[in-house]
Copies of this chain bind each other. A is one copy, B any other.
């Protein structure tokens, strides 16, 4: 199930704080860890992800009018957290929150290989 894939993200990416399968409506299907660590609570990742889902949704719609092609990935790097979003299908995406010192390249790689696995189960 989703939790298995989310676990592989958490285990595979140094500095990952939390990750989720989310809909473009900003509602999370499943999130790990179940109990958000203190760092995620302090950063209020839940609120941030709802806003970023909205940005991802806009990027998706905008891309349809552009020649740059479908959006596959969006990354929003801010002072306290790196957020990486990876399209799963037209309705869902994966999101991971990383410490600024986290392994960004590894996060991109793990999301890229995990997205098709999640897509199969949706």
In whole angstroms, what is the CA distance A67 to B37 when docked? 15
Interface residues of A in 57-99 (CB under 8 A from B): 58-59, 62-63, 65-81, 83
Q: Which residues of chain B come closer than 8 Å to A79, judged between CB atoms? A: 68-70, 72
The answer to whether B75 touches A73, judged by C-beta atoms less than 8 angstroms apart, is yes
Identical copies of this chain, number = 2
The answer to whether A44 touches B62, judged by C-beta atoms less than 8 angstroms apart, is no
Binds B, one of A8-16, A23-31, A45-53: A45-53
Query: Which of A73, A75, A105 has the most B CB atoms < 10 Å from its CB?
Result: A75
Chain A positions near chain B (C-beta within 8 angstroms): 42-45, 47-48, 51, 55, 58-59, 62-63, 65-81, 83, 105
